[in-house]
Amino acid sequence: AMQPLELTLIVAATRNMGIGLNGSMPWTGLRREMRYFARVTTRLPPQAAQTPGAVNAVIMGRKTWDSIPPKFRPLKNRLNIIVTRSAPTAAPSPSISITEPIRVSSLEQALKYAQARAVARVFVMGGAQIYEAALRLPETRRVLLTRIEQEFECDTFFNLHLGGGDTGTEGWTRRSRQELEEWTGEQVAEGGEEEAGTKYEFQMWEKTA
């Protein structure tokens, strides 16, 4: 049966919700954090794990695509969908191999493509403009936030303020560490993580209203 498409945003942000500087990330050296991103976006949910050929999709803006080191793109074992104003006018065929990134001209087209491909999970991985568009959609159910407990100079922000406690912004609720572990399949440290002198915490937020 056709599952209703559900979107998960995945983002690493400072306390001020800073996500970028000069077209790249404001920090360096958060390698375990990056590996968490790679595993979480790749891992299939239990229902899809048995299905041959099942994959997740990652949707990103063109600037985020450009920011990924060429040797890592397309992000492997995931269907990569790029939102760009210079997408071909014809809709991409639903049978293209995942070794080929798909270019579409809007987030709505990206969702339609993901649905036509019957992908397992759909992640929105930025940047700011794409997150902003996704936060307006009813399909957006969840944010996997890595909250970085150190200020970095940023010129790009995630425009939803999710608080430190479980009371964030109206309509959003923080889920427990156990709920995050169940949904992501990851084991996360109780008191948060620290790497390259930077403390951070893996969080999961869900839309309640």
Q: Residue 103: beta bridge partners?
A: 82
CB 89, min distance to ligand FOL, A: 27
Please work out, in degrees rounded to the nearest 5, the angle formed at the alpha carbon of residue 116 by the alpha carbons of 11 and 208: 40
Q: Which of 5, 21, 67, 115 binds ligand FOL (CB under 6 A)?
A: 67
Residue 37 and residue 33: Cα distance in Å, rounded? 6
Residue 53 and residue 49: Cα distance in Å, rounded? 9
Asked if 109 is part of the footprint of ligand FOL (rule: CB under 6 A), the reply reads: no
User: β-strands 18-20, 156-157: how paired?
Assistant: antiparallel
Site string for ligand FOL, 111-130 (x = CB under 6 A): --------------xx----
CB 67, min distance to ligand FOL, A: 6
> Quick one: 33 or 193, whose CB is closer to ligand FOL?
33
What percentage of the chain's residues is helix, strand, coil (to nearest 5)?
20, 30, 50
> Quick one: 37 or 172, whose CB is closer to ligand FOL?
37
Site residues for ligand FOL per CB under 6 A: 10-12, 33-35, 37-38, 64, 67-69, 72, 75-76, 125-126, 146
